[in-house]
Structure 1
Amino acid sequence: MIRPLLHDDPSHVGTYRLAARLGSGGMGTVYLARTPGGATVALKTVHAHIAADAAFRTRFRLEADAARVIGGRHGAQVVDADPLADVPWMATEYVLGPPLDDAVAVSGPLPEAAVRAVGAALCGALGQLHRSDVVHRDLKPSNVMITAYGPKVIDFGIARALGDDRLTRVGAAAGTPAFMSPEQATGQEHTPAGDVFALAGVLVFAATGHGPFGSGQPADLLYRVRYADPDLTGVPESLAPVLARCLAKDPAPRPATGELAAALHDGHGEFADHLPHPLLSEIARRAAEVWQFRPERL
């Protein structure tokens, strides 16, 4: 959602002119920005009080590195970044499409063909990360952008290299409880199998409009993730067995991304052909909105 700048937002970051706000949270703000040549980017900045933390600066640099690893095919292409600036920032491709949670809100749960196409493409994205020994650790509907050419994975704020726990407190659970793996929920090592668990949760949401472990307080969600069977109500009958296998409490029987992609989709057809018309219309609306928006400041 494009919103006007606030009175205390800067006019420029680096060489980029800020045009609007795209979102803000506890860690920072994401802006719609233009390059000197007029190209559109999404520019993420970190709140000043957090930027003073050396560990967070390191995490921000690793986030930019992970975004570069996944590249422009499966993620938002990194255009520029300065993790050493007084206020660290990163500029990426502006993705023309809604996050998956907004897509489901607009068009309702996706048809099975769309869920399978999204899942197979996300397997490709995660596979690229895993081949570089990087795990995402926070795959969820709001971190999956749906474009006409395929989904893109964003937000690598807690991604890290396999085996590197220097930025994670022992026994701490980092991630989003509703889409967290059981091993992640107990603060254990999050391997590629943990990303597969999260991907299955994202696909359950895409197919049904609800996550596999419901909603509620984080403590309740963490308990269900660890001990309860996933709720696959509404998942297409032919899709449920493969997602159930991905949601196994034990990571060992979960399929790898290559095997899962083959089970989800045969690779035929253009990605957009599998999307429902209301979602395609929303993608087009968002693409047009970027150029129709008139910069202003509250």
Structure 2
Amino acid sequence: METLGAGDPQRIGAYRLLARLGAGGMGQVYLARSDRGRTVAVKLVRRELAQQEEFRARFRQEVRAARRVGGHWTAPVLDADTEAEVPWVATGYVAGPSLQRVVGHDHGALPERSVRILAAGLAGALQDIHAAGLVHRDLKPSNVLVTIDGPRVIDFGIARALETVTDGGLTRTGALVGSPGFMAPEQVRGDRVTPACDVFCLGSVLAYAATGALPFGGADSGVHALMYRIAEDEPDLSALPEGIADLVRDCLRKDPAARPSLEAIIQRTGAEDTVADGRFRDPWLPSALVAQLGRHAVRLLDTESPEDGEAAAAAGAGVTPAGAGAGADEAAPEGPAASGAASDGAAVGVGV
């Protein structure tokens, strides 16, 4: 988390901002708290995107679809305003780091048992997303959050809205849409995208979680070379534990029809009987990671609103800081918002 800057708003809708969580192609994500005390993540769309009616129309459509996503393995959608001058969306805050940070920075590759359970949780999330009529299209380690109870998938739906400002796979500013190392062959070729696309991406995520490396290599030799390998070459799975190698290999079949169903993936993990109400009954992470997640939760509880801090300091001096208490009469929705729109599944500031 980073402290709010001079150019950051103090409130978005009924939410008081606490800190910055991250930023990306879609916009800025903030840690925030409702007037009733619920901690949320609020994504503020980039102003230049908001000014493009084509993007805004697609954004509304994806928001409506994303509202239908339920289940335990995604961040809950709480609130949004797609008609604001700068649209925003709010979801429940998921108290955990991204899989990218866990593997790439904090811990390294996960043990085989953890990867098996990760596979079951991610397959469950994709089932919920597909049941809502969506294809994630951008499942990658930065869009997977790691919690004590299991993984949570974020940023479903919004990637499709961003496609409205693309031209031949590139945005109007020249940035590639999607994440090349985790794209499916049909995405690379520009073919029709189906739910099987997410199964391929799942295979790439599992390979990364188990080895710390991408199955088709990095982009050191260039993005186009990487995409060629995804479309034409076989993945390098030599470092994968033998117990999950076949499952990952099947997910990475070039032919979408040859990839396993999500139900089959869950069955093959052997984790079906370890889940209750969206939580794994037994610890699924190494003890060092569990301890890290506990420290993160304590830090979150200690996070104060910047306005609260100013107000407390000013109270001792007998003054009220400018803007303190603004919006105090606003009702903070704790479920689907009265404003009528909900958003995609962005939670923490990654993959935005």
Query: If the length of structure 1 is used for normalisation, what is the TM-score?
Result: 0.91
Alpha-carbon deviation of 1:290? Answer: 1.3
Residues 55 and 165, structure 2, Cα contact 8 Å, conserved in 1: no
Alpha-carbon deviation of 1:35? Answer: 0.6
The total of aligned residue pairs comes to 292
Aligned-pair identity (%) = 45
Q: Distance in 1 between matches of 2:46 and 2:18?
A: 18
Q: 2:244 aligns with which of 223, 239, 243?
A: 239
The equivalent of 1:139 in structure 2 is 139
Higher RCO by CA contacts (8 Å cutoff, separation 6 or greater): 2
The equivalent of 2:257 in structure 1 is 252
Structure 1 residues 254 and 170, CA, compared in 2 at 3 Å: closer, same or farther?
farther
Residues 80 and 89, structure 2, Cα contact 8 Å, conserved in 1: yes
- Residue by residue over 1:41-95, the C-alpha shift from the partner in whole angstroms, topping out at 9 and shown as x without a partner, is 1000012122101122233334433443333612111111001001100111000
1:185 aligns with 2:182: no
Alpha-carbon deviation of 1:276? Answer: 0.7
The equivalent of 1:215 in structure 2 is 218
The equivalent of 1:275 in structure 2 is 285
Q: Distance in 2 between matches of 1:72 and 1:89?
A: 23
The equivalent of 1:152 in structure 2 is 152
Structure 1 residues 19 and 266, CA, compared in 2 at 3 Å: closer, same or farther?
closer
Alpha-carbon deviation of 1:108? Answer: 1.6
The equivalent of 1:113 in structure 2 is 113
- Residue by residue over 1:177-210, the C-alpha shift from the partner in whole angstroms, topping out at 9 and shown as x without a partner, is 1000001111111111110000000000010011
Q: Distance in 2 between matches of 1:131 and 1:19?
A: 34
The equivalent of 2:299 in structure 1 is 289
Residues 43 and 89, structure 1, Cα contact 8 Å, conserved in 2: yes
Residues 63 and 155, structure 1, Cα contact 8 Å, conserved in 2: no
- Residue by residue over 1:221-269, the C-alpha shift from the partner in whole angstroms, topping out at 9 and shown as x without a partner, is 1111011110113211121112111101111110110011111224233
DSSP-derived class of the 1:101 partner: helix
Alpha-carbon deviation of 1:293? Answer: 3.0
Structure 1 residues 68 and 265, CA, compared in 2 at 3 Å: closer, same or farther?
farther
Q: Could you say what the CA RMSD is over the residues aligned between the two structures, in angstroms?
A: 2.1
The equivalent of 2:60 in structure 1 is 61
Query: If the length of structure 2 is used for normalisation, what is the TM-score?
Result: 0.78
Q: Which moved more, 1:67-76 or 1:223-232?
A: 67-76
The equivalent of 1:90 in structure 2 is 89
Q: Which moved more, 1:99-108 or 1:288-297?
A: 288-297
Point out the structure with max Rg over C-alpha.
2
Q: How do 1:161-200 residues align onto structure 2 when only pairs under 5 Å count? A: 167=164, 172=169, 174-200=177-203
Gaps of 5+ in 2: 171-176, 275-279, 308-352
Residues 148 and 271, structure 1, Cα contact 8 Å, conserved in 2: no
Q: Distance in 2 between matches of 1:169 and 1:33?
A: 31
Structure 1 residues 125 and 150, CA, compared in 2 at 3 Å: closer, same or farther?
same
- Residue by residue over 1:139-187, the C-alpha shift from the partner in whole angstroms, topping out at 9 and shown as x without a partner, is 0000011111121110122247xxxxx9486853742110000011111
